[in-house]
A and B are shown apart, each in its own frame.
Chain A
Amino acid sequence: MVPVAKDFVFRKPMVILITSGERKHVITVIFPDKSRKEFAGEGMTGEELLLELGLNPYETILSRNGGIIPEDTRIFSGDKIRLIAIVHGG
């Protein structure tokens, strides 16, 4: 069972947003609004990534390189992670 974090507060970043320079070892995150950001961070779980981004893991589904993954999957450089928000009007 994945340990349940008790808050979503961003405290000590495990992931580092890459804005320029070295781009070989990065995790690409595609947000629900289709914007993209690149991060450095090796071996964290999808849940940890979402918490670092300030998102509720219950409300977000992850896909890696085109396929759905559980939030306790470990993520490595080269992965392309898409975030799908489950909350939607309709």
Chain B
Amino acid sequence: MAGAGTGKDAAEGSLPLCSVCGKPAVYFSRVSGTHFCDTHFLSWFEDSVRTTIRDCGMVGPGDTVAVALSGGKDSSVLLEVLHRIFSDDTSVKLVALTIDEGIAGYREDTVAAAERLAARLRVPLRTIAFPDLFGKTLDELVPGREQVACSICGTLRRRALTTLAREEGATKLATGHCLDDESQSAMMNYLRGDLTRTLARLSPGAQDSFVPRIKPLRYLSEREVVTYGMLRNVVLPLPECPYTRFALRADVRKMLGTMEYRYPGTLMKILQGQEKLSGKFSAGQDSAAVTPCPVCGEPTSGELCATCTLLDSLGIRKP
């Protein structure tokens, strides 16, 4: 979708103008009070991702970056923007990874979207399905456990991504988590009273895996990510995951969405507060507290890793 705006609109004063160049605007940032036209919004967005990658040391020469590509809007935007940033950099390789969890009526369309995007950008794509690793689809695992569907899916999907990333020789695993996701996760951890996750899980590049995870979109809001995706034509109308309505995240998302509208900048303040807190905590911690899981060998801070604990509770042995 192109940016709107005609000369007539601007002349009539119905359409706000870009704060940079004076052309008709497509986006208004409530936080900074800035209007952007399509050209300046796209360049601002891509510069923001570049800055995050550089300042957080997310990607360097020689890296193979595995991009978790669900085919939904966030991950599609992530692949598009990383492709643009690194298309001229032969020292960095991109590979896309798609996990088919087996969610009828939802995943078929998003997997097809992922395949189309990877083909258009000429980024190699690896796909794997839950039954290949865990013996069952998510639809087969969830009945009777709908309230924790997203937790089951997230844990198994992380393991599937780590497995594929390692097989592809990736040195980084990039996910499309944006500011909304990160601030929601921080708030959910508070609401659950989960001090361990509150203090440990939200660093810019989590090191709890042998393949370090990076989140280049974590300082950009969902609204900005969707706008970018629409302007770049990578966001398509797709079905909604049928399990999201059961999750605590749905309620937290609604609450924080209201707060962000009424008090612009709330999401960023939550994330920044979280980073200060985990920064102070991790400064005094011993990283050797992470040990290999005795069942699968993945790093864990407990006795069994989260995936093996979950597989045991579901009656499924290690993949």
Contact residues of B between 7 and 36, Cβ < 8 Å to A: 9, 13-16, 25-28, 30, 33, 35
Q: A8 vs B14: C-alpha distance in the bound complex, in angstroms?
A: 24
B4 touches A90 (CB 8 A): no
| Other-chain residue from A1, A59, A64, A67 in contact with B30 (beta carbon distance below 8 A) | A1
A residues in contact with B262, CB < 8 Å? 4-6
| Inter-chain contact B70/A58, CB cutoff 8 Å | no
Interface size of B by Cβ–Cβ distance < 8 Å? 46
CB distance from B105 to the nearest CB of A (A): 12
**Contact indicator B240/A67 (Cβ below 8 Å):** no
Partner of B70, one of A57, A61, A66, A90: A90
Contacts of B14 in A (CB 8 A): 73-76
- Are A2 and B30 in contact, CB atoms less than 8 angstroms apart? yes
A-B contact pairs, 14 of them (CB 8 A): A4-B264, A56-B258, A58-B257, A58-B261, A61-B227, A63-B4, A68-B3, A68-B227, A69-B25, A74-B13, A76-B14, A87-B257, A88-B73, A89-B106
- When distances are taken between beta carbons in the complex, the residues of chain A under 8 Å from B258 are 8, 56, 58
Q: Tell me, in angstroms, the Cα distance from A63 to B74 when the chains sit together.
A: 20
Residue of B nearest to A34 (CB): B237
Which residues of A lie under 8 Å from residue B63 when comparing CB positions? none
A71 within 8 A of B: yes
Q: Do A72 and B222 have beta carbons less than 8 Å apart?
A: no
Q: Which residues of A contact B (CB under 8 A)?
A: 1-2, 4-6, 8, 56-59, 61, 63-76, 84, 86-90
Do B28 and A72 touch (CB < 8 A)?
yes
**In the assembled complex, B110 has its CB within 8 A of some CB on chain A:** yes
Q: Which 10 A-B residue pairs are closest in the complex by CB-CB distance?
A: A67-B4, A90-B72, A89-B241, A89-B244, A70-B28, A58-B261, A74-B14, A68-B26, A86-B226, A89-B240
* Contact A70:B25 (CB < 8 A) given known A58-B223, A63-B1, A88-B72: yes
Q: How many angstroms between the C-alpha atoms of A56 and B222 in the bound complex?
A: 14
Binding site for A on B (CB under 8 A): 1-5, 9, 13-16, 25-28, 30, 33, 35, 38, 70-75, 106, 110, 222-223, 226-227, 230-231, 238, 240-244, 253, 257-258, 260-264
Least distance between B189 CB and chain A CB atoms (Å)? 20
Contact of A66 among B1, B106, B227 (CB under 8 A): B1
B75 neighbours in A (Cβ, 8 Å): 90
Q: Hey, which chain A residues are within 8 Å of B253, CB to CB?
A: 87
Residues A89 and B28 in contact in the complex (CB < 8 Å), given A56-B257, A61-B230, A70-B16: no
Query: Judging by beta carbons under 8 Å apart, are A90 and B73 in contact?
Result: yes
State whether A68 touches B231 (Cβ < 8 A): yes
Beyond known contacts A69-B5, A90-B70: 10 more, CB 8 A cutoff: A64-B4, A65-B4, A67-B3, A67-B5, A68-B231, A87-B222, A87-B257, A90-B72, A90-B238, A90-B240
Q: Is the CB of A67 within 8 A of B27?
A: no
Chain B residue at smallest Cβ distance from A67: B4
List chain B residues, Cβ under 8 A from A64.
4
For the complex, give the distance between the alpha carbons of A1 and B9 in Å: 19
Most B CB atoms within 10 A — which of A8, A68, A76, A90?
Answer: A90
Q: Which residue of B lies closest to A79 (CB)?
A: B14
